[in-house]
Each structure stands twice: as structure tokens, then as C-alpha cells.
Amino acid sequence: MTTTQVYHVYIRATAEEIWAAITRPELTVQYFHRVTIEITPERRSHTGPRGEAWEPDAVLEFDPPRRLAHEWRSQYDAEMNAEPVSRVTWEIEPQDGGTCLVTLTHDRLEGSPKTAAGVSGAGWMFVLSSMKSLLETGEALPPTG
């Protein structure tokens, strides 16, 4: 099991546009498996794709538009939700040529093997790829599931 997962993607967008895509519900619902997510300096509030009310997660770092860290619980699955809370960190680094490097690190997964397996590989890569598509073309990838 990989207890620290790191993903990188280059996106042709400003750091501010990427920050908005991560923190604003009208954008997250388009690319994040139909989940609405709103992030403030204090909390990450989210509602499931069928309107399920999920418990908010604590925000650990809030440095727009550069760095965001928040707790993570996989509330879409009862077994994963019962595991210990993990952490997701987003880092946005402007590059030359109008792009930004987005690095997503999901760690503190030592006691959460089901969550680690559920978000690994294609899990986070779909979210990042769909966000990239939305920001670069105006259309997210077709939802899965």
C-alpha cells in the first residue's frame, strides 16, 4: 500500500483559475464526480452527487492561490469513511508559457488501506484530468459511475 501518493499535472490556466476550480462548488460539480465542494479558510464543505449531506473536513493550510491542505474522508463509501482521516495537499506553481504545475499529495494513509486503494492511480488522475480539461477547453470529462 502506498501511504503517500503524489500526482502532477500541467494545466494551461492561471493559478487563480486553478484555485477557483479547486474551491468553488459551481466548478467542482463539473469535474469531481458530480460532487459540490466549497473550501474556505476553515473548512471543506461538500455534498455528494445525489445531494447527500457529508460532514465537512478541516482545512489545514489556506494560501491562495498557491497551497491548500485539507483533511480527507471518503464519505461516499461506509468502509472507507470508517478509516482514519488522511490529508490532501494541493500545490499550484506558475510556469513559463501560461501554464501551472499542479501537484496533489494525498498522505497520512497508513491506517486507511481501503481509502489508499480507492483514490490511487485512476482515482485522483480522473479528477485532475477532468479539471484540466474543464479549464483548458470549457468541458470536463464525462462523469464516471
What CATH number does residue 28 fall under?
3.30.530.20
Residue 103 lies in a domain: yes
**82-128 pLDDT, tens digit each:** 999 999 999 999 999 999 999 999 999 999 999 999 999 889 999 99
Q: In what order do the strands lie in the sheet with 36-39?
A: 5-11, 100-107, 86-94, 67-72, 57-63, 43-47, 36-39
**What's the predicted TM-score (pTM) here?**
0.95
Q: How far apart are CA 16 and CA 19, in angstroms?
A: 5
Q: Does the pLDDT at position 1 exceed 70?
A: no
Contact between 7 and 19 under an 8 Å Cβ cutoff? The reply is no
Residue 145 lies in a domain: no
Residue 63 lies in a domain: yes
Region 42-59 average pLDDT: 95
Residue 142 lies in a domain: no
Q: Residue 123: which domain range? A: 5-137
Q: Into how many domains does the chain fold?
A: 1
Residue 144 lies in a domain: no
Query: What pLDDT sits at residue 2?
Result: 80
Q: How far apart are CA 17 and CA 24, in angstroms?
A: 10
Q: How far apart are CA 48 and CA 75, in angstroms?
A: 9
Query: What pLDDT sits at residue 90?
Result: 98
Q: Does the pLDDT at position 52 exceed 90?
A: yes
Query: What pLDDT sits at residue 145?
Result: 59
Residue 94 lies in a domain: yes
Residue 119 lies in a domain: yes
**30-40 pLDDT, tens digit each:** 999 999 999 99
